[in-house]
Amino acid sequence: MAQKPSIPKGTRDFNPEQVTKRNYIFNTIQSQFEKFGFQPIETPSFENSETLMGKYGDEGDRLIFKILNSGDFLSKFNQSIIQVIKDSLYNLLGYLNVEGLDWKIYKSKFLEFIPDHIRTKKIIQLAEEKVDYVKLAEDLWNLIELELLETEEKLNKFLEGGEGRLSDFTIRIFGSFYFNFGTSYLGSYISEKALRYDLTVPFARYVVQNQNDIEFPFKRYQMQPVWRADRPQKGRFREFYQCDADVVGSTSLWQEVELVQLYDAVFSALGLKGTTIKINNRKILSGIAEVIGASDKLIDFTVALDKLDKIGEEKVKQEMLEKGISQSGIDKLQPLFTLSGDFGSQITQLKAILSTSEDGKKGIEELEFIDKAITEIGLETAQLKLDVTLARGLNYYTGAIFEVSAPDGVNMGSIGGGGRYDDLTGIFGMPNMSGVGISFGLDRIYLVLEELNLFPKTVAKSLNVLFINFGDKEALYSLKAIKSLRKNNINAELYPDSAKMKKQMQHANKRQIPFVVLVGEKEMQDQQYTLKNMISGDQEAVSLNELITKLT
Residues belonging to the binding site for L-histidine are 198-200, 228, 242, 246, 392, 396-397
Q: How far apart are alpha carbons 548 and 484 in whole angstroms?
A: 8
Residue 315 neighbours by CB under 8 Å, 6+ apart? 307
For residue 345, the tally of other CB atoms under 10 A from its CB is: 12
My answer on whether omega of the bond before 514 falls inside 30° of 0, hence cis, is: no
Q: How far apart are alpha carbons 490 and 465 in whole angstroms?
A: 8
Q: Parallel, antiparallel, or unpaired for β 218-227 and 39-40?
A: parallel
Contact by Cβ (8 Å): 197, 52: yes
Contact by Cβ (8 Å): 388, 280: yes
Q: What is the DSSP string of 422-441?
A: SSGGGGGT--S--EEEEEEE
DSSP 163: T
Residue 323 neighbours by CB under 8 Å, 6+ apart? 297, 300, 301, 304
For residue 315, the tally of other CB atoms under 10 A from its CB is: 13
206 has which bridge partners?
none
- Among 538, 513, 516, which Cα is nearest to 529's? 516
Q: H or E segment at 400?
A: strand 400-405
Contact by Cβ (8 Å): 248, 216: yes
Q: How far apart are alpha carbons 96 and 103 in whole angstroms?
A: 8
Backbone angles phi, psi at 489, to 5 degrees: 60, 35
- Among 412, 521, 433, which Cα is nearest to 474's? 521
218 has which bridge partners?
248
Q: Is 224 helix (H, G, I), strand (E, B) or coil?
A: strand
Q: How far apart are alpha carbons 527 and 544 in whole angstroms?
A: 8
Backbone angles phi, psi at 436, to 5 degrees: -150, 140
Contact by Cβ (8 Å): 392, 401: yes
The binding site consists of: 198-200, 228, 242, 246, 392, 396-397
DSSP 236: B
Contact by Cβ (8 Å): 169, 115: yes
- Among 231, 211, 220, which Cα is nearest to 439's? 220
Residues found in the chain: 552
